């Protein structure tokens, strides 16, 4: 049946309105079953020249059963892991992966209606995170963080550097040095009374 919603809206519901509203769901289903049998499956189709019910009997032997596994409706997108820190971006938030995947291409998957992000690398599940709201802080798996720090400290990855847990180095303040203006340099004292008088005259102007 082609365009089922349009046919139901423009034909079946119009006929229901003409006959009056059904008294129950069972009556509505009975009307729908009778309408499909007589007005859809039993009516000659303009393209094939035969009724859909008759056409179905001809095509049955060519039809295969539905697959046992359900259709995968998950959102699946590839991502490239950052080359310096083991993070990937998903829906405006960064999520951690193992440090060994730096710079590698991974597959991100979020099932429809679920709030869990799965990350696969070379077909293996390497990360699983609860999905955070867009704009949230980086989401880390503690094992990923520990392995990244260990790799940076061991120097196995030249581009990994530990910056967050290293205490800042306090530089000593330079010693104050008195200004030497010379023995013959004299500074005249400031006449504050004259200064205030000039300011008052300028304001009067």
Identify the CA nearest to 109 among candidates 128, 96, 122.
Answer: 128
Contact (Cβ atoms closer than 8 angstroms) between residue 95 and residue 88: yes
Contact (Cβ atoms closer than 8 angstroms) between residue 128 and residue 118: yes
**Phi and psi dihedrals of 26, rounded to 5?**
-60, -40
User: Taking the complete model, does pTM exceed 0.95, yes or no?
Assistant: no
Average pLDDT over residues 125-153: 94
* Coil vs helix vs strand at 141: coil
Residue 27 has pLDDT above 70, yes or no: yes
Q: How many CA atoms lie within 13 A of 197 on its CB side?
A: 4
135 and 99: one domain? yes
Comparing 46 with 90, which gets the higher pLDDT?
A: 90
Given 40, 62, 84, which residue is the final one in a domain?
Answer: 62
* H or E, element range at 105: strand 105-110
pLDDT tens by residue, 41-72: 888 888 888 988 888 888 888 888 888 888 88
- Record the tokens describing residue 144, joined without a space: 């990923």
90 and 149: one domain? yes
Comparing 171 with 61, which gets the higher pLDDT?
A: 61
* Banded pLDDT at 184 (limits 50, 70, 90): low
In a domain, 164, yes or no: no
* Banded pLDDT at 177 (limits 50, 70, 90): low
Q: What's the domain count of the chain?
A: 2
In a domain, 43, yes or no: yes
- Record the tokens describing residue 11, joined without a space: 């034909």
Long-range contact pairs involving 181-190 (C-beta distance under 8 Å, separation at least 24): none
Range(s) of the domain holding residue 144: 75-154
Residue 203 has pLDDT above 50, yes or no: yes
The lowest-confidence range among 4-18, 103-117, 137-151, 156-170 is 156-170
Report d(CA 52, CA 54) in Å as an integer: 5
């Amino acid at each position: 049946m082609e365009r089922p919603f349009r046919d139901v809206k423009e034909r079946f519901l119009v006929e229901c309105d003409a006959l009056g509203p059904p008294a129950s769901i069972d009556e509505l289903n009975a009307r729908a079953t009778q309408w499909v049998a007589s007005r859809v499956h039993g009516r000659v189709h303009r393209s094939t020249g035969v009724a859909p019910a008759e056409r179905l009997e001809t095509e049955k032997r060519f039809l295969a059963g539905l697959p046992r596994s359900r259709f995968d409706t998950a959102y699946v997108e590839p991502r490239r892991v950052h080359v310096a820190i083991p993070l990937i971006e998903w829906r405006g938030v960064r999520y951690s992966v193992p440090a060994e995947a730096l710079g590698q291409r991974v597959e991100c998957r979020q099932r429809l209606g679920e709030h869990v992000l799965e990350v696969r690398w070379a077909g293996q599940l390497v990360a699983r995170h609860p999905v955070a709201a867009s704009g949230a802080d980086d989401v880390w798996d503690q094992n990923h963080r520990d392995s990244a720090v260990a790799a940076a400290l061991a120097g196995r990855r030249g581009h990994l550097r530990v910056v967050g847990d290293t205490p800042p180095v306090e530089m000593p303040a330079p010693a104050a040095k008195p200004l030497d203006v010379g023995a013959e340099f004299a500074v005249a004292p400031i006449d504050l009374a004259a200064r205030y008088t000039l300011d008052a005259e300028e304001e009067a102007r």
